Structure 1
Amino acid sequence: MPLSRRFFRLSYQGAVLLSVLAVAPLTWAWLASSGHRVVADSSPGWMAGVPEAPVALVLGAAAFGGTPSPMLARRLDISAELYRAGKVRAILLSGDNGRIEYDEPTVMRDYLLARGIPARALVLDYAGFDTWDSCVRARAVFGATRLTVVTQLFHLPRAVTLCRTAGLETFGVGDDSSRRWASTYAYAAREFAAAAKGLLDAVVLDSAPVFPGPRETSLEAALQSG
């Protein structure tokens, strides 16, 4: 075989292999979460497909000057709807507080308090630095066993799969933010890398969270008060 043909053949095979490797983590997340997620849309009956669970886990996202980003606000709105409908009895707010000047969980709490969700129902996890950390800490630190995870639709398969891999009986509710914000597509594109990292953390390395403990009883107290 001429050298040029061999080179192009190997290049083609390499490109195919890279494509498969790029898509595999997303496929894993999609298949593993199948049947365990629903879209929160404008239809009045979307919540009928959500099973009751003790806890809603709201995953953090960007906050600016004490105000949640539109995506984070929508996650919080969905969790408030679930709480008011009796689908959950407590809300675990898991986000990034790695710097003194940046505090996602407190912003999330204040947003829900302003919308009438009682303080006794809100539990803050200040070390939810990524999805895997939030899932592992929900189980190992806060003692959750069954929950509904709330995020955007593009993130939902990974969030549900990682929480289930962490040992949580998990259902997921996702907001289809692509109908409102063009920036959703940029975040969705990042899911290729994020899903690969999630697969590595959860399945290959079984990574510990940045802050693995100590054990907290705030979620148990919230459930008892509810």
Structure 2
Amino acid sequence: MRRLKKIILFSVIGLVLIIFAILGVEAIFKRQTQDLIYRDISTLPKSETVIILGASVHADGKLSPILKDRVDTAIKLFENNKVKNFLVSGDHRTDDYNEIAAMTGYLEDRGIDKDLIISDPAGLDTYDSMYRAGNIYNIKDAIVVTQEFHLPRTLFIAENLDLNYKGFPADQRAYQTEYRLKQREKLANLKALWEVFIHKKPHSLQAGIFPTSN
């Protein structure tokens, strides 16, 4: 019985420490990036490029609400002369799933010249997208559009890759999966911290190359 009590006690202490670690990393990310996030478009400095991070696409090729808001926000920045071109970064590992084509098609349908769109089909996650934007596509100064809860991690990665990126939130509605995504983000922060610490290389180091599935 005494041994069982010790196991329970150490388990509870371990759980509490893990929770504090998760919350601590989240607080560090927010504090380090708070001055890089602009919520008023009138105060947002101009940049050459707006980076749109990929998200889920429906089976019929339509953008999910989260991704649609990201692309619409990027168009808004372009129409307000805050950016001159677009980098769409997402997942296109297989022929039957293509975030890049969905985003590019949506932009073109809304009057964006295809010559203004740079496509990165190997932005498989946030770290890969940031690394490839700066090191493969040589974009050193940009505005990243994604949801508010995602911006601190994104900009923390960019800053630690020596990229001069700013963030603009794409939140235009309440999302059905928002609570789950915010909880997932807390764990993803730990992954990002580790990736930055080990100077992780992305799955692909070539422009326009689709990484092979493992």
Same fold? TM cut 0.5? yes
- Give the paired residue count: 207
Tell me, yes or no, if the aligned pair for 1:58 and 1:151 is still in contact at 8 Å: yes
Tell me, yes or no, if the aligned pair for 2:145 and 2:169 is still in contact at 8 Å: yes
One-letter code aligned to 1:188: K
CA distance in 2, matches of 1:163, 1:62: 22
CA shift for structure 1 position 19: 1.3
Residue deviations 1:140-159 (CA, integer Å, cap 9, x gap)? 11011111001011111111
One-letter code aligned to 2:17: L
TM-score (normalised: structure 2): 0.89
Match status 1:125 vs 2:144: no
Give SS of 1:38's match: coil
CA distance in 1, matches of 2:46, 2:147: 20
Give SS of 1:68's match: coil
CA distance in 1, matches of 2:208, 2:54: 21
Tell me, yes or no, if the aligned pair for 1:141 and 1:215 is still in contact at 8 Å: no
Tell me, yes or no, if the aligned pair for 2:91 and 2:122 is still in contact at 8 Å: yes
Tell me, yes or no, if the aligned pair for 2:89 and 2:129 is still in contact at 8 Å: yes
Tell me the equivalent position of 1:36: 36
CA shift for structure 1 position 7: 5.6
Residue deviations 1:194-221 (CA, integer Å, cap 9, x gap)? 111111111x2111000012599xxxxx
Match status 1:105 vs 2:100: yes
Tell me the equivalent position of 1:53: 47
Residue deviations 1:137-178 (CA, integer Å, cap 9, x gap)? 00111011111001011111111111111221011011235x
Residue identity (%) = 28
Give 1:31-180 correspondences, 5 Å limit: 31-39=31-39, 46-64=40-58, 65-176=60-171, 179-180=173-174
Match for 1:207 among 178, 200, 206? 200
Tell me, yes or no, if the aligned pair for 1:140 and 1:215 is still in contact at 8 Å: no
TM-score (normalised: structure 1): 0.85
CA distance in 1, matches of 2:177, 2:143: 25
One-letter code aligned to 2:27: T
CA shift for structure 1 position 38: 2.6
CA distance in 2, matches of 1:131, 1:4: 42
One-letter code aligned to 1:208: K
Give SS of 1:67's match: coil
CA shift for structure 1 position 13: 3.0
CA distance in 1, matches of 2:187, 2:151: 15
Moved over 4 A (4+): 2-9
| Residues 180, 15 of structure 1: alpha-carbon distance in 2 compared, 3 angstrom cutoff | closer
Tell me, yes or no, if the aligned pair for 2:30 and 2:152 is still in contact at 8 Å: yes
CA shift for structure 1 position 181: 1.9
CA shift for structure 1 position 24: 2.8
Tell me the equivalent position of 1:15: 15
Match status 1:184 vs 2:178: yes
Gap runs ≥5 in structure 2: 210-214
Stretch of structure 1 that moved more, 166-175 or 127-136:
166-175
CA shift for structure 1 position 184: 1.3
One-letter code aligned to 1:183: T
One-letter code aligned to 1:77: D
Tell me the equivalent position of 1:222: none
Give SS of 2:31's match: helix
CA distance in 2, matches of 1:130, 1:118: 26
CA distance in 1, matches of 2:102, 2:208: 23
One-letter code aligned to 2:165: T
CA shift for structure 1 position 132: 0.4
One-letter code aligned to 1:100: D
Give SS of 1:171's match: strand
CA shift for structure 1 position 9: 5.0
Gap runs ≥5 in structure 1: 40-45, 217-226
